[in-house]
């Protein structure tokens, strides 16, 4: 509680939460420890994901990855262009959910494999109940490191997207790893924490993540923070500047298809 009060009221209150609009002295660290909570191997190879040291807004409780994807959606003009669109949102973050509803899409389906709140539909990303080419925007923010097969999940994303539709698939990865690694023998919480960085992760993506994602057939429109949000400092807005915008699209049909 003291940490929260300090984070809210200490000076200078130079940081800004883009989701609640409030200023703060700092964002709260992940699990109270931030970067220090990472297992030593994960810390040694480095991981591009959340900003663990500036993680949670002391006012509204939103996490850095929710702020970042919101900023990316605004900068790409996607949020302003949702009127009449069909949106599917996996593991829906509560603040982002409200922003999307405000943008008046024709249809909005918040979904999760294990819904934690009323109104969230139970959907397996590996077998979605949506028709082919029926979705304009699909958001799965930090989901693909949890699913049992990211290849199947990406094939489903490609299937349900309309040609020209967008998929936002933010995923943590280690630039220090040449190849994504997972092993079916790593199943216990402690083993997954040590091997992949979190108890419920099924793999640790390496720097081949971009090649892997593109091999699904989705067309990458990935941008860096600097390209998308050049005027927004990561420390002021509590986001990880190393986390790129994982924006993908489905190619428009070619003549003769």
Instruction: Provide the binding-site residues for Zn ion, judged by CB under 5 A.
Output: 17, 19-20, 57, 59-60
- The H or E element spanning position 23 is strand 23-24
- Report the candidate in 201, 141, 139, 204 with the shortest Cα–Cα distance to residue 176: 204
73 vs 154, which CB is nearer to Zn ion?
73
Q: What is the DSSP letter of 129?
A: S
Residue with tokens 């999307």: 100
Report, in Å, the least distance between residue 55 CB and Zn ion: 12
Report, in Å, the least distance between residue 15 CB and Zn ion: 10
Report, in Å, the least distance between residue 135 CB and Zn ion: 29
Report, in Å, the least distance between residue 143 CB and Zn ion: 22
Q: CA 186, CA 55: separation in Å to the nearest integer?
A: 27
Phi and psi at 72, nearest 5°, equal: -65, -40
Report, in Å, the least distance between residue 66 CB and Zn ion: 9
- Report the candidate in 175, 178, 158 with the shortest Cα–Cα distance to residue 166: 158
68 vs 192, which CB is nearer to Zn ion?
68
8 vs 207, which CB is nearer to Zn ion?
8
5 vs 104, which CB is nearer to Zn ion?
5
19 vs 154, which CB is nearer to Zn ion?
19
Q: CA 163, CA 179: separation in Å to the nearest integer?
A: 30
Which residues partner with 121 through β-bridges?
111
CB atoms within 10 A of CB 96: 22
For the record, the structure tokens of 49 come out as: 């994901």
Per 3-state DSSP, the chain is made up of helix, strand and coil in percentages (nearest 5) of 30, 20, 50
Report, in Å, the least distance between residue 231 CB and Zn ion: 20
Which residues partner with 223 through β-bridges?
245
């Amino acid at each position: 509680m003291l940490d929260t009060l300090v984070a809210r009221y200490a000076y200078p209150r130079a940081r800004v939460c883009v989701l609640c609009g409030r200023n703060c002295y700092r964002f709260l660290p992940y699990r109270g420890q931030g970067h220090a909570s990472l297992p030593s191997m994960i810390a040694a190879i480095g991981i591009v994901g959340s900003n663990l040291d500036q993680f949670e807004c002391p006012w509204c409780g939103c996490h850095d990855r929710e702020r970042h994807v919101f900023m990316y959606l605004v900068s790409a003009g996607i949020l302003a262009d949702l009127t009449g669109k069909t949106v599917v949102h996996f593991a829906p973050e509560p603040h982002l959910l409200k922003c999307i509803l405000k943008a008046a899409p024709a249809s909005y389906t918040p979904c999760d494999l294990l819904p934690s709140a009323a109104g969230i539909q139970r959907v397996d990303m590996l077998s979605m109940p949506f028709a082919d080419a029926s979705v304009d925007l699909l958001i799965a923010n930090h989901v693909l490191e949890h699913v049992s097969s990211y290849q199947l999940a990406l094939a489903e994303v490609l299937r349900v997207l309309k040609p020209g539709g967008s998929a936002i698939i933010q995923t943590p990865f280690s630039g220090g790893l040449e190849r994504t690694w997972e092993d079916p023998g790593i199943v216990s919480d402690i083993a997954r924490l040590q091997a992949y960085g979190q108890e419920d992760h099924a793999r640790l993506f390496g720097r081949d993540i971009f090649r892997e994602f593109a091999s699904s057939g989705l067309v990458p429109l990935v941008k860096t923070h600097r390209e998308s949000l050049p005027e927004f400092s990561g420390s002021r807005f509590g986001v990880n500047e190393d986390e790129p915008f994982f924006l993908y699209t489905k190619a428009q049909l070619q003549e003769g298809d």
